[in-house]
Amino acid sequence: MDCIQHIDSAKVNEGDEKDVELQNQRDKSIEGQRLLILTDEQPWKPWKRSRSWVKECLVRVRCVMGSLMGMEWYCFATLGVLTAFLSFLMDLSVAKLLRAHQWLYSQLEGHCLLQFLCWTLYPVSLSALSTSFSQSICPFSAGSGVPEVRTILSGVDMPHYLSLTNLFAKYVGLICTLAAGSTVFLGKVGPFVHLSTMVGAYLNQLCTVLRGEKEERTEGAMLVVAAAVGVASCFGAPISGVLFSVEVMSSHFALKDYCPCFFAAACGALTFHLLSMWSGEQETLQALFQTSFSDDLPFYPLEIPVFAILGLLCGAGSCVYLFCHRWILLFIKTNKILIKVLSTEKALYSAMVVFLLASVTFPLSAGQYMASKLTIKQLLSSLLDSRQWTSQSHNASVVLQPNLCPWSEWISSGNPYLTLGFFLFMKLWMLVLACTLPLPAGYFMPVFIYGAAIGRLFGEGLAYVSLNGVYLDQNRNPINPGGYALAGAAAFSGAVTHTLSPALLALELTGQSTHAAPILLATLVANALARSGQRPSFYDALSISKKLPHLPSLLKVCPRLSSVPIGKVLGPRGPVLERAAGPTQVQQVLNTCSQTQIPVVDTLDSQILLGSINRSDLQTFLCHNHNKAHGILSVLCGESLFVTERGRLSGVVTWPEMKRMMADLADDL
């Protein structure tokens, strides 16, 4: 017995000696690491004490900033500032390229053939460059990008559309597209919303790192905010940018996203205006298209029904435009020749289409009846002019000075009605054809200008019918055609997109709050006519053509989907957890299922659903091992949907299953 005790004590002493030896080795290792940090054994990392001091200061700054507000608010502000800077840089680059084209064309005056080559080959080269560059860097960069962003915000994972290569390709390609000028007649709103969303996705990752979170939440508030910032940074219009995000981008807008959207949009709009002031384009913080409408009597009460008639006209025109747009999308998808060309020679297709458009708009031919020398910004500014062109067409001195009065291009033929009518007829099929170009481009601003031309023609005709003015108390008060142009722009673009945000955008762009009531009336009437018959909007047609699994767009083309019983997509119920479950039952459920959301029922016999619980919360419960009952839990977050029948759990609908179903429906169209 003593021998055994001696052996055991010897083993204990031997174990203690080993523990002491291991502890000494650990101490030596720690001391060596400390010496390595204090010495300069790594020459490629100098100024270690200075760097450590800077890091400490940055940590303190982050703590101070975090105590004032959450880090996500700083990311929202950064998003607005960065997007506005990108928008300003793009506008500056495009303006320089457009001035170079105008200078080269003016230097060749007197040489008709050389001017024709200059007018056509310049936009052809830029469009081909835009197509080839964007397609070679990232094939997903073509088009507007709004349908894809809407699909991402609805919960579908599309990481390629938020990549850094897509951001670079779309930005450079969009500059080349806009530099082609009014010949191609395309804008930047849609692609810039996509660009803003890509910037927001990377800022969301940065915000996640700063907050110390492990999981990235790209489908959170940052992308919704980025959609609003994209519009606000294009026009300096924060309120309409948020409304655009609510109407177009999100199927269901969360109230918690309102404040971040307005905050980031205000930061973007303010930065855009400040940069415009710094560049000399604006003298103060004013509307982008400042107008000079009369504030004393902007319109008569008798003109209110006339604005409603204009809304009906714009709604009918939008139906024609949407029909032509859907037809050409279907034609491209079914024509074998175009399918082959667009799959192998996209740059060649862009070059041929743009050459056709540029030949038609050549100023020495049909272009003189379309005001083709004006840029997109000059087109809108001239259409919103408050003066009546019919009274100015007889003034020869005005016609001879087109640089001082851009609107004089509309009366160069001597008849503004002929110019406006020809412009509307030609731009309708030209814009529909330009929508097929495989390059980064926006379609909202051309539609906005087209509606302004409809309103201008309507206003000029009304002024002519009323003998160039309305008389009240022996005072001559002429009708303002610019007000009708503004209402037509909002009504037509709102009808095409099935939204009301263009009405507010028209007011923010011009600062004309006096025309708020007639503009809103015309937009409502146009929307009512365009929405009748379950016609898909412009963006819905693009989503359907691209077979994107966006459920609201699929419902527009297949209304029968709303009547499909949910029982057809139900999956098995799977493991459930009763309210009075203990640690043993919780551990058993966690071992038998891999769902992130686990349903909680009253009892296993009744199967009455009470709520759901996160898997992580159950794991935390097991770690603390608290003996408590689980009550009614939080509302479902979106990963799974539990379906009950009279309170009894029937099954579960998972998001991957729903996404697969929508993809199958999109492929069948």
Domain boundaries, the chain: 71-278, 303-560, 578-668
Instruction: Give the Cα-Cα-Cα angle 616, 619, 625 (nearest 5 degrees).
Output: 140
Handedness of CA 461, 466, 472, 476 (dihedral sign): positive
Tokens of 439: 């390059």
Tokens of 51: 């760097």
For 195-242, the pLDDT digits (tens) are 999 898 888 887 777 665 554 444 567 888 888 888 888 888 888 888
Residue 627 has pLDDT above 50, yes or no: no
Q: Check residue 340 and give its pLDDT.
A: 87
For 435-484, the pLDDT digits (tens) are 999 999 889 899 999 999 999 999 888 887 776 545 444 455 677 888 88
Length of the chain: 669
Q: Check residue 148 and give its pLDDT.
A: 87
Q: Phi/psi of residue 604, each to 5°?
A: -70, -25
- Alpha helices, H only, 532-654: 538-545, 551-557, 583-592, 615-624
CB neighbourhood size of 96 (10 A): 10
Residue 137 has pLDDT above 70, yes or no: yes
Q: Check residue 51 and give its pLDDT.
A: 67
Percent of the chain with pLDDT over 70: 70
Q: Residue 151's pLDDT band (boundaries 50, 70, 90)?
A: confident
For 644-663, the pLDDT digits (tens) are 666 676 666 666 666 666 66
Q: Residue 26's pLDDT band (boundaries 50, 70, 90)?
A: low
Q: Check residue 492 and give its pLDDT.
A: 94
Was domain 578-668 assigned CATH 3.40.50?
no
Tokens of 215: 């999981």
Of residues 263 and 572, the one with the higher pLDDT is: 263
Buried b (16+ CB within 10 A) or exposed e, 378-415: ebbbbbbbbebbbebbeeeebbeebeebbbbbbbbbeb
Q: Check residue 455 and give its pLDDT.
A: 92
Bridging pattern class, strands 609-614 and 597-601:
antiparallel
For 362-413, the pLDDT digits (tens) are 988 888 888 888 888 888 888 888 777 766 655 544 444 445 466 677 776 6
Q: Check residue 37 and give its pLDDT.
A: 41
Q: Check residue 480 and give its pLDDT.
A: 82
- C-alpha to C-alpha distances, 571 to 521, 538, 591, 593, 623, nearest whole angstrom: 48, 35, 20, 14, 31
- Alpha helices, H only, 511-600: 516-531, 538-545, 551-557, 583-592
Residue 146 has pLDDT above 90, yes or no: no
**Contacts with 481 (C-beta within 8 Å, 6 or more apart), sequence order:** 386, 388, 389, 455, 456, 459, 460, 462, 463
Residue 218, burial from CB neighbour count under 10 angstroms (0-12, 13-18, 19+): middle
Q: Check residue 342 and give its pLDDT.
A: 85
Residue 5 has pLDDT above 60, yes or no: no
CB neighbourhood size of 425 (10 A): 11
Q: Check residue 286 and give its pLDDT.
A: 64
Q: Check residue 175 and give its pLDDT.
A: 92
Q: Which of 277-291, 448-462, 478-492, 631-645 has the lowest mean pLDDT?
A: 631-645
CA distance 289 to 287: 6
Residue 76 has pLDDT above 60, yes or no: yes
For 364-377, the pLDDT digits (tens) are 888 888 888 888 88
Q: Check residue 226 and give its pLDDT.
A: 86
Read off the pTM: 0.75
Please, what's the largest Cα pairwise distance for the chain?
A: 132
Residue 270 has pLDDT above 50, yes or no: yes
For 471-488, the pLDDT digits (tens) are 444 455 677 888 889 999
- Mean pLDDT of the region 524-541: 87
Residue 41 has pLDDT above 50, yes or no: no
Residue 54 has pLDDT above 50, yes or no: yes
- C-alpha to C-alpha distances, 223 to 220, 229, 476, nearest whole angstrom: 6, 10, 52
Q: Residue 21's pLDDT band (boundaries 50, 70, 90)?
A: low
Bridging pattern class, strands 470-472 and 475-477:
antiparallel
**71-278 against 303-560: fold identical:** yes
CA distance 612 to 343: 48
Classify the phi-psi angles of 468: left when phi > 0, otherwise alpha if psi is within -120 to 50, otherwise beta: left
- C-alpha to C-alpha distances, 22 to 11, 17, 28, 33, 280, nearest whole angstrom: 17, 9, 10, 17, 72
Q: Check residue 35 and give its pLDDT.
A: 41
Tokens of 624: 């603390």
- C-alpha to C-alpha distances, 296 to 302, 509, 610, nearest whole angstrom: 16, 21, 63
Residue 558 has pLDDT above 80, yes or no: no
Residue 272 has pLDDT above 80, yes or no: yes
* Fold classification of 71-278 (topology level): Clc chloride channel (1.10.3080)
- Mean pLDDT of the region 111-118: 90
CA distance 347 to 334: 20
User: Looking at domain 303-560, what is its CATH homologous superfamily?
Assistant: Clc chloride channel (1.10.3080.10)
Of residues 275 and 525, the one with the higher pLDDT is: 525
Q: Residue 319's pLDDT band (boundaries 50, 70, 90)?
A: very high
Of residues 214 and 512, the one with the higher pLDDT is: 512
Instruction: Give the Cα-Cα-Cα angle 405, 407, 408 (nearest 5 degrees).
Output: 70
